[in-house]
Amino acid sequence: MSQYKMWIGGNWVDAESGKTYPVFNPATEAEIAQVPLGGLAEVDKAVAAARKAYPVWSKKSQVERSQIVLKLAALMRADAKEVGRIDTLEHGTPAGLAGMIAGDLPEWLEWNAYNARALMGNTIPQCPNELIYLQREPVGVVALITPWNLPLLMIVEKLAPALSVGNTIIIKPASINSLTALKLAELADKAGFPSGTVNVITGPGGIIGEALATHPGVDMVAFTGSSETGKRIMALASQTVKRLQLELGGKNPVIVLGDADIDAAVGAMLGKQMFNCGQICAAPGRFYIHEKVYDEFLQKFTAGMKKVVVGDPNDTKTQMGPLVSADHRNRVEGYIKSAIDDGAKVILGGKRPTAPPLDKGYYFMPAIITGVTQKMKVAREEIFGPVAVFMEPFNSDDKVIELANDNIYGLAAYVWTQDKARGMRFANEIQAGTVQIGSTPARDQDVPWGGYKQSGIGKEHSMYGLYEYTNLKRIQVDLTANR
């Protein structure tokens, strides 16, 4: 079993209290590490270190900053195998998927390092004797509070733009799987960032996250997680009017019209539903299937889900590993029970496997629930698991658009039709930050991501994601000759 330290101010440190807490392998329930139990003292130290580093890092030229970020990308690419191994060990990500994610992450750093060099200001030609121009500057000290569902990816997608444009960083990873964050700190040290530019504090979010959100030395909080926690961070951050970037929950509607390519829709949506055990905010949340194709879609979707291989994440045949923790599995099981109590039907899965070797670990068999009505709990709330929720069939475009919008979330929506003009009507009327008509894959770095309503504030990825970590300054110069 490994003993870890936190990374603060360019040094590996224990918690001032001397306390640690265990990290468990979700596939075996075995304890794999002890991590420092950080607290308020560590928050103060990390903020002080980041503030000291800020004038050093922010005043480097954009070329210098980008070169160091690119070096971190190269180190991460060279160590991708180890990064993937840690992800599998602490999160239960199937080894093949973990390797793919680890191999992709350096590109996030590279994209932001290159594009930060392309940030330009603007001049405003208001009058001939006056120069008005706009320039972007880093915000300052940025706290990244990240979730457990894709531990390192969720850090890197924030870290890459924030660092590239000159901010200094305090990372608060999820307490149950912080090891990949500490590996990132090791690589950042090797890359040559000035001491204090990147800091990692491990420990409970309720203490550390709230301290970062209220700390007067933190200029911005970037958070991914539940809407309830996001609201709490907003309330705390309001005390010092911090900049916020919030990527919160989703209950994403899938709308399959009567003329859809059913095989294509089933394949794409099944993949999204099962990716990372459904523990992603972009997962399908509600299936609205036209009555004309409902039976066919459900039959093919069920057949596909039955073929999903649940098992040891180190087995190359495994497509879905365990859920992240016992507590989260209990939460998903609670949604299954609520659906049954409300009168819906579980037609597939929804239980723990009992046969060895899957009787140990936080495994959960993928589930399909049918007969769900709009007011049921499983139709309103984010389940965050391998559970497909099938609403009652529809036969009216107007009605299904109304139902799709009838939710507190507005992150993403998936529309399946071969009539693109009809699809565009859905795209224009659905309240979501992303509406995908058919299977339209895109490189995540190039396109913005972020939702409407209680799905969050601001955007991630693309140039819009870079802008989030900058302040826009207006500079005005009187060009009239001195008198």
Active site amino acids = 247, 281
- 17/363 Cα distance (integer angstroms): 35
Tokens of 88: 């599998």
Instruction: Return the H-helix or E-strand segment holding 97.
Output: helix 95-116
| CA-wise closest residue to 6 among 217, 222, 172, 193 | 172
Q: How far is CA 113 from CA 26, 168, 449, 462, in A?
A: 35, 15, 19, 12
Q: What is the number of residues in the chain?
A: 483
Cis peptide bond prior to 357, omega within 30° of 0: yes
The one-character DSSP state at 6 is E
The H-or-E segment that residue 154 falls in is: helix 151-164
Please check whether residue 452 is in contact with residue 432, taking contact to mean a CB–CB distance below 8 angstroms: yes
Residue 143 sits at the vertex; the CA angle it makes with 226 and 56, to the nearest 5 degrees, is: 160
Q: What residues contact residue 384 under an 8 Å CB cut-off, 6+ apart?
A: 149, 278, 279, 283, 328, 331, 332
Other beta carbons within 10 Å of 389: 23
Q: Is 265 helix (H, G, I), strand (E, B) or coil?
A: helix
Q: How far apart are CA 172 and CA 209, in angstroms?
A: 7
- SS3 state of residue 15: coil
The full DSSP string for 442-457 is --GGGS-B--EETTEE
List the beta bridge partners of residue 6. Answer: 13
φ/ψ of residue 365, rounded to 5: -80, 135
Expressed in angstroms, the distance from the first to the final Cα of the chain is 75
Is the CB of residue 54 less than 8 Å from the CB of residue 168?
Answer: yes
**Left, alpha or beta for 166 (phi > 0: left; psi -120 to 50: alpha)?**
left
* Token pair in block for residue 391: 């609403």
